[in-house]
């Protein structure tokens, strides 16, 4: 019986793959801008496909463009153990968010092939389309369709800032597969991801054993006032949508603090119209991102926002529209999968601690349809969704080692 305890990935090879992928869709400050369904996303997909085919994997693609690179198991009836994350990035994204999870899965395959190890269950490395939700909201769109949370037609109709539709862009880059989304069943799913927060680095821990994911709520707010001259319009006559937004953003901060220490709130997307230096904004559209591990807190924050925004806009004579554009409840991952990760970290001698994921991940949706859990590695200063996002080669290798053990143990090694 292969002694699993001394199995390790090839950390240098994993690091080289990360640096190679980072060359595609470079940012302007050392990170990446490989947004979903852009030509750069297509190029990154082709590189991943080339690497998978070189390892003898067969590639399946579903009608949301999600890629499943399959290594056969010895039992043709056994459902696959899936391992992966996402290759799409934020516009000012880092080199590791999502990418570490996909290439960590590929590194498991490369190591199994090097060692000639067979498993009972097939193993599939997955690249989920549009995890970030930055070009086409909401986040985790393809894994949401896979888990039956979103209808594919609705997803195909999602539009980016230029009015381009998801379905059209997927076809344009040539990655609309023919597999029905969700038809591919699985035994379990594991995702390796950088923490995107400060806890592991601060506590000097190698591994985060992710037991839960906090819930998320995205609310799009549209405020309408009246465009008018910033110079000649007397103050009492102004209907300043921009000022209304500023007061609501201050309220959002207050609401999040009212549920300290775990709740968070901010607006990352803001569009001002007409966005001209000497025109009072007549319209603003912005998205409030609330998160908490407690669903009752999220619901209370949404209620406080609706109430407070209405009071502010009524007082200022502004129009207000509020639309929920994304969200999911807090997630509890599968106990057996979490235990496989924790015991792997212990067996390998890596320091570890249980963690609640602050960010959303594809695993949060896949958890609805199969036993799922996540491994996290630290990131420098807890920084992510920033081109300066950084990890160490050692952190990447440790995370991939733990992922490797959890996946191979679940897929069951066969002599």
Q: How far is CA 137 from the centre of its chain?
A: 12
Q: Is residue 132 within the footprint of ligand HGY (CB under 6 A)? A: yes
Q: Which does 98 bind (CB under 5 to 8 A by kind): Mn ion, ligand HGY, none?
A: Mn ion
- Taking CB under 5 A as the binding criterion, the range among 17-25, 56-64, 95-103, 142-150 that sits at the site for Mn ion is 95-103
Q: Cβ atoms within 10 A of the Cβ of 114, count?
A: 12
Q: In the set 81, 173, 288, 359, which binds ligand HGY (CB under 6 A)? A: 359
413/121 Cα distance (integer angstroms):
9
From residue 212, give the alpha-carbon distance in Å to each of 61, 82, 113, 311, 409.
29, 19, 32, 35, 21
Q: How far is CA 339 from the centre of its chain?
A: 23
From residue 44, give the alpha-carbon distance in Å to each of 47, 121, 157.
5, 28, 24
Q: Which does 396 bind (CB under 5 to 8 A by kind): ligand HGY, Mn ion, none?
A: none
CB of 384 to ligand HGY, least distance (A): 8
Q: Which does 112 bind (CB under 5 to 8 A by kind): Mn ion, ligand HGY, none?
A: none
Quick check: 208 and 291 in contact, CB under 8 A? no
Comparison of 98 and 122: residue with beta carbon closer to Mn ion: 98
222/191 Cα distance (integer angstroms):
36
122/82 Cα distance (integer angstroms):
8
Comparison of 211 and 287: residue with beta carbon closer to ligand HGY: 287
Provide the total of helices (H) and of strands (E) in the chain, helices listed first. 12, 17
Q: Is residue 360 within the footprint of ligand HGY (CB under 6 A)? A: yes
- N residues, the chain: 415
Q: Is residue 105 within the footprint of ligand HGY (CB under 6 A)? A: no
Contacts of 288 (CB under 8 A, 6+ apart): 217, 218, 219, 220, 221, 252, 265, 266, 267, 305
- Taking CB under 6 A as the binding criterion, the range among 46-54, 132-140, 334-342, 346-354 that sits at the site for ligand HGY is 132-140
Q: Which does 302 bind (CB under 5 to 8 A by kind): ligand HGY, Mn ion, none?
A: none
Total residues in contact with ligand HGY, by rule CB under 6 A: 6
Q: Cβ atoms within 10 A of the Cβ of 218, count?
A: 22
Q: Which does 80 bind (CB under 5 to 8 A by kind): Mn ion, ligand HGY, none?
A: none
Contacts of 16 (CB under 8 A, 6+ apart): none
Q: Is residue 98 within the footprint of Mn ion (CB under 5 A)? A: yes
Q: Is residue 131 within the footprint of ligand HGY (CB under 6 A)? A: yes
- Closest C-alpha among 282, 163, 288 to residue 224: 282
Comparison of 80 and 360: residue with beta carbon closer to ligand HGY: 360
Q: Is residue 195 within the footprint of ligand HGY (CB under 6 A)? A: no
Can you read off the two tokens belonging to residue 235?
């103050």
Comparison of 133 and 378: residue with beta carbon closer to ligand HGY: 133
CB of 183 to ligand HGY, least distance (A): 25
x/- mask, ligand HGY, residues 133-172, rule CB under 6 A, reads x-----x---------------------------------
321/223 Cα distance (integer angstroms):
7
- Taking CB under 6 A as the binding criterion, the range among 59-67, 131-139, 271-279, 367-375 that sits at the site for ligand HGY is 131-139
Strand-pair category, 207-213 with 123-127: unpaired
Binding site for Mn ion (CB under 5 A): 97-98
Binding site for ligand HGY (CB under 6 A): 131-133, 139, 359-360
């Amino acid at each position: 019986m292969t002694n699993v305890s001394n199995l390790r990935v090839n950390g240098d090879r994993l690091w080289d793959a990360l640096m190679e992928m980072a060359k595609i869709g470079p940012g302007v400050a050392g990170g990446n801008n490989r947004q979903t369904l852009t030509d750069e996303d297509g190029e990154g997909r082709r590189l991943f496909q080339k690497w998978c085919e070189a390892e003898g994997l067969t590639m399946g693609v579903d009608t949301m463009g999600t890629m499943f690179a399959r290594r056969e198991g010895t039992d043709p009836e056994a459902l696959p153990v899936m391992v992966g994350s996402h290759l799409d990035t934020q516009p000012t994204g880092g080199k590791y968010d999502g990418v570490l999870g996909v290439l960590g899965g590929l590194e498991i395959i490369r190591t199994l092939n090097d060692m000639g190890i067979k498993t009972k269950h097939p193993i599939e490395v997955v690249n989920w389309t549009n995890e970030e939700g930055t070009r086409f909201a909401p986040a985790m769109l393809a894994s949401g369709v896979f888990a039956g949370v979103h209808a594919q037609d609705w997803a195909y109709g999602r539009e980016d800032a230029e009015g381009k539709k998801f379905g059209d862009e997927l076809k344009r880059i040539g990655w609309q597969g023919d597999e029905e989304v969700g038809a591919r069943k699985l035994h379990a799913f594991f995702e390796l991801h950088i923490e995107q927060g400060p806890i592991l680095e601060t506590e000097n821990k190698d591994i985060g054993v992710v037991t839960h994911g906090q819930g998320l709520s995205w609310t799009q707010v549209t405020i309408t006032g009246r465009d008018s001259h910033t110079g000649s319009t007397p103050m009492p006559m102004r209907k300043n949508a921009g000022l209304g937004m500023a007061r609501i953003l201050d309220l959002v901060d207050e609401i999040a603090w009212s549920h300290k220490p775990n709740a968070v709130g901010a607006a990352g997307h803001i569009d001002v119209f007409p966005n001209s230096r000497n025109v009072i904004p007549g319209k603003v559209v912005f998205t409030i991102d609330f998160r908490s591990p407690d669903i009752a807190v999220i619901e209370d924050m949404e209620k406080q926002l609706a109430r407070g925004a209405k009071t502010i806009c009524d007082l200022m004579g502004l129009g207000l529209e509020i639309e929920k554009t994304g969200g999911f409840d807090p997630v509890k991952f599968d106990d057996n999968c979490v235990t496989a990760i924790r015991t792997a970290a212990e067996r390998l001698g890596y320091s570890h601690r249980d963690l609640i994921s602050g960010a959303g991940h594809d695993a949060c949706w896949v958890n609805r349809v199969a036993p799922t859990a996540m491994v996290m590695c630290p990131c420098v200063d807890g920084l992510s969704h920033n081109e300066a996002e950084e990890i160490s080669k050692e952190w990447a290798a440790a995370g991939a080692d733990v992922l490797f053990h959890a996946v191979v143990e679940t897929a069951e090694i066969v002599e």
